[in-house]
Structure 1
Amino acid sequence: MVFSSYLFIFLFLPAFLIAYKLVGHRFRNILILTASLYFYYLGDAKGLWILIAAIVGNFAIGYLIDRFREVEDGKQVSAMARRLLIVGLFFNLSVLGYFKYVGFITENINLISAKFGHPSVVPVVSVLLPLGISFFVFQGISYLVDVYRGTIQATKSLLIFGTFKSLFPQLIAGPIVRYRDIAAELPDRSVNPDMVVEGITRFVIGFAKKVLLADTFAVTADAIFSLPASELNFGTAWLGAASYTLQIYFDFSAYSDMAIGMGLMMGFRFPENFNYPYKSTSIRDFWRRWHITLSGWFRDYVYVPLGGNRTGAVGTYVNLLAVFILTGLWHGASWTFVAWGLWHGFFIVIERFTNMENRGIPSPLRWVYTLAVVVFGWVLFRSETFDHAFHMMALMVGLRTGPENYVLAEYMSPALGLALGVGALLSFPVYRWLRDRLSSNQQLCAGLLGLSALFVLASMKVLSGAYSPFLYFRF
């Protein structure tokens, strides 16, 4: 079950919010835990036991780390706490590694061994990827590391920890909410009318972004990326790249908006996850704005422990590339994802080496450069093979030609043209610009009319059974 399905919009969420309002404060966490596990069960019944194991395992290990963290003088972290942290990291990473990467690893072992005349030296293991595993495993790691560092105190309540770990708004598609982000609200919280209004606004905007924009782009992006390379040409390659560039932004940011909105309606303030990344004027700036909680996670739990920028210039570049290789792998078990991570890491290293952001290069030129890097990166990210990605890139820069009988009219429709225009416009802070120029009464009237219209239009599209893919099954 996904946030944009009619089952969630018209049944699950309203029933949950009514029950959440009616039950007393003592029972709200029980309701959240029960509803969240049921929500996960509806989406991935077989994977539910993995989520429950992650909840119980991380709770127990975190409790023990906290208990053994300090020795008698209170100044040193004990060896037992370090051992327990290693056990916790192994527990989380082995779960992620098995379910997400064992097939990838066994396939590549056989490919390598085949080069030496020994094909199929190990059986290829095919495992169904549990829903949202990358998100809740990273949550577990951050919790254990923060307890070990003393940043937070481990909770002694399995109910509170289970509520945090399973909280359905952010369970399957982010943002990656750390325990310390909502620790103060987990035991008890109040919900005031302003939070409800803000939450409804964010949710409806996200719902409309997903259904009216992202799903419209998805039809064209999926159609073009599924074409054989021999049937692509300059126009279709660019249309596919543009459609996917807007699809992944509006899809991912929409889920983040809906998650943040639902969190507000429940009394939680989740961290922001996107800040108009397509207005960036460098790749470093892009990663300050794109999937902010993931960037922050890799910074705090990988880049800094590796030494960050304290290891000299060469060491810093190596650390950056290592982080982006892992960022690519986090998105999926494929060499194209690794290459996408390296693509971004390479340009960040170049920008750091040349100090590009402080060279006085005009912002429009830096924006064009950044957007080009991002768009070509998305081609690599979306393509199933390197051959397909490189062929599409070559068409886009005019190094290859394709058949002339495939014209844009075959894929372009008035609805797509309108969506592309609106999507390109809303990739910049136009909404904020317009809102700031309206009086309070005008904002209220425009908001009520606009949100109502968006909800009705998006609901009609959902009820019509329109195509609505869920991107995060690969993550």
Structure 2
Amino acid sequence: MLFNSLVFLLIFLPAAWLGHAAVLRAAPRLRTAYLVLVSFVFYGFFDLRFVPLLGASILLNWLLAGAFVRSGRKPLVAAGIAANLLLLGIFKYLDFFADLLTLLPGVTLPRYGLAFPLGISFFTFQHITYLSDLQSGRTAHVGLLDYALYIAFFPRIIAGPLVRPAELFPQLAERPAPPSPESVARGLALLVFGLSKKVFIGDPLGTYVDPIYARVAAGTDPTMLEAWQAMLGYTFQLYFDFSGYTDMALGLALLFGIVLPQNFDAPYRSVSIQDFWRRWHITLSFFLRDYLYIPFGGNRHGLPRQVLALFATMALGGLWHGAGWTFVAWGALHGAALGLHLLWRKAGRSMPKAAGWALTFAFVALAWVLFRAPSFEAATAVYVGLTGLTAAGIGSAPLEFWQLLALAVALATLGPTAWKLSRGLPPLRWAGALVALLLAAVLLKVGDDTNADFIYAQF
């Protein structure tokens, strides 16, 4: 049940919200239990087979956390983190590691092709965050229902944002009260803006990008303009799809009186690669910094160790995105770029903002080819196609694509973000009417088209 489906928008969401309002009036103490139930129903719509897996992971991590609090034994936390990573490894990386082992002489292993539980990458990180913060004293052990909601809250379980315990548990500890009219209005605005970004820009861009990558994967070289269409189109398809999902997640949470952290802040306006990672998938950047980069040594053991920590952190971050060497290479490229940026700053060098923006955007867009391509061969074909040095020639690209791309570029680099726009809407009837009209247009579009999955739901 996708956020961009009529079933969700016209049936599930209204029913869940009205039920939430009724619970707040009749039995406020049951609010958390109600939201947990709604979240499991939502998750079950995707695949009932994995509801027991989600429930068991929540229960076992909560019990282990309680055992740690009672005993103070740190090996319990280490064992819990290892168990979570093992579960993720079985479902997401079993075939990847089997392929690696088959490179050894005489080793033959089957490919299992296990079904992939949606959201497992995200809720695994949430378990690890809780256990780590519990051990370090950054959070306290909470009740089972609070913990279940922390892991399974339906607006964010599939593709984030990643939430720290300290960002959610204080909200759950407050006396339950109906969300304010301002929160509801802002939540609806974020939901509509996020939907609009996906259905009017992200998905249409995908119709121009996906066929090219499919042909390249099948061994057909792209023309020069097709290669540029694939690279630039995906750069903005991914942004409007994923940031649109985040806007929807934040908006949906506000409708239920819960504030989730911002996850995007106009990343394609970044003037350095460091600036980019402060603006793109912000909650993942915080996770990588706090739970990988700092434990790897961070900036506490000299410059060579810091550069190595950046590289290792981003390479592992790439692997987290997908079980493939192209993802590792994408992450490693970003790790190398962050290391070079660090060395540049340590040398006291500077760069005009315009040049910094151009270099950053060019690097990020080129690196997205590795992120999107199904293999190194496909990525190489796109890179060579960008230069025009193929027998396929220059080719052509539809005018409609360039018009859509121009709109995407303008909104991503010049227009206000949905986060700021939702905060700046005046409490006037005309503003509400504009949001309502936009919602009506979205519903017509959703009802007319085939609804595309969210890209990050695959990770």
Q: Is the 8 A contact 2:266 2:417 kept in 1?
A: no
Give the aligned partner of residue 383 of structure 2.
393
Aligned-partner Cα distance in 1 for 2:412–2:382: 24
Instruction: Kindly state the Cα deviation for residue 457 of structure 1 after the two structures are TM-superposed.
Output: 1.6
What are the within-5 Å matches in structure 2 for residues 23-422 of structure 1?
23=23, 24-69=27-72, 80=73, 82-110=74-102, 112-113=103-104, 116=105, 118=106, 121-155=108-142, 157-187=143-173, 188-190=175-177, 191-228=179-216, 229-355=219-345, 359-398=349-388, 400-404=389-393, 406-409=395-398, 412-413=399-400, 416-422=401-407
Distance 1:408 1:181, change over 3 A: same
Give the aligned partner of residue 77 of structure 1.
none
Aligned-partner Cα distance in 2 for 1:146–1:256: 24
Aligned-partner Cα distance in 2 for 1:405–1:390: 17
Aligned-partner Cα distance in 1 for 2:431–2:350: 40
1:430 alignment partner, one of 412, 415, 418: 415
Instruction: Kindly state the Cα deviation for residue 301 of structure 1 after the two structures are TM-superposed.
Output: 0.8
Aligned-partner Cα distance in 1 for 2:190–2:128: 29
RMSD over equivalenced CA pairs, Å: 2.1
Aligned-partner Cα distance in 2 for 1:224–1:389: 12
Aligned-partner Cα distance in 1 for 2:69–2:238: 39
Distance 1:83 1:198, change over 3 A: same
Instruction: Kindly state the Cα deviation for residue 421 of structure 1 after the two structures are TM-superposed.
Output: 2.1
Instruction: Kindly state the Cα deviation for residue 402 of structure 1 after the two structures are TM-superposed.
Output: 4.0
Give the aligned partner of residue 2 of structure 1.
2
Q: Is the 8 A contact 1:65 1:85 kept in 2?
A: yes
Distance 1:371 1:98, change over 3 A: same
Aligned-partner Cα distance in 1 for 2:158–2:451: 20
Instruction: Kindly state the Cα deviation for residue 10 of structure 1 after the two structures are TM-superposed.
Output: 0.9
Of stretches 123-132 and 325-334 in structure 1, the one that deviates more from structure 2 is 123-132
Alignment partner of 2:171: what SS? coil
Give the aligned partner of residue 74 of structure 1.
none
Alignment partner of 1:123: what SS? coil
Q: Is the 8 A contact 2:264 2:279 kept in 1?
A: yes
Of stretches 449-458 and 166-175 in structure 1, the one that deviates more from structure 2 is 449-458
Aligned-partner Cα distance in 2 for 1:26–1:189: 7
- Which letter maps to 2:160? G
Instruction: Kindly state the Cα deviation for residue 270 of structure 1 after the two structures are TM-superposed.
Output: 0.6
Of stretches 86-95 and 222-231 in structure 1, the one that deviates more from structure 2 is 222-231
Distance 1:379 1:357, change over 3 A: farther
Aligned-partner Cα distance in 2 for 1:430–1:406: 32
How many equivalent pairs are there? 450
Alignment partner of 2:206: what SS? helix
Alignment partner of 2:263: what SS? coil
Instruction: Kindly state the Cα deviation for residue 383 of structure 1 after the two structures are TM-superposed.
Output: 0.2
Aligned-partner Cα distance in 1 for 2:35–2:335: 39
Q: CA offsets, 1:413-454, max 9 Å, x none?
A: 3xx444322211111352369x99xx986x735532432232
- Which letter maps to 2:412? S
Aligned-partner Cα distance in 1 for 2:416–2:128: 36
Instruction: Kindly state the Cα deviation for residue 357 of structure 1 after the two structures are TM-superposed.
Output: 10
Distance 1:247 1:29, change over 3 A: same
Aligned-partner Cα distance in 2 for 1:19–1:316: 51
- Which letter maps to 2:88? L
Of stretches 22-31 and 292-301 in structure 1, the one that deviates more from structure 2 is 22-31
Instruction: Kindly state the Cα deviation for residue 314 of structure 1 after the two structures are TM-superposed.
Output: 0.9
Distance 1:272 1:405, change over 3 A: closer
What is the TM-score when the length of structure 1 is the normalising length? 0.90
Of stretches 199-208 and 356-365 in structure 1, the one that deviates more from structure 2 is 356-365
Aligned-partner Cα distance in 1 for 2:297–2:96: 29
Aligned-partner Cα distance in 2 for 1:164–1:257: 19
Distance 1:440 1:242, change over 3 A: closer
Aligned-partner Cα distance in 2 for 1:470–1:461: 16
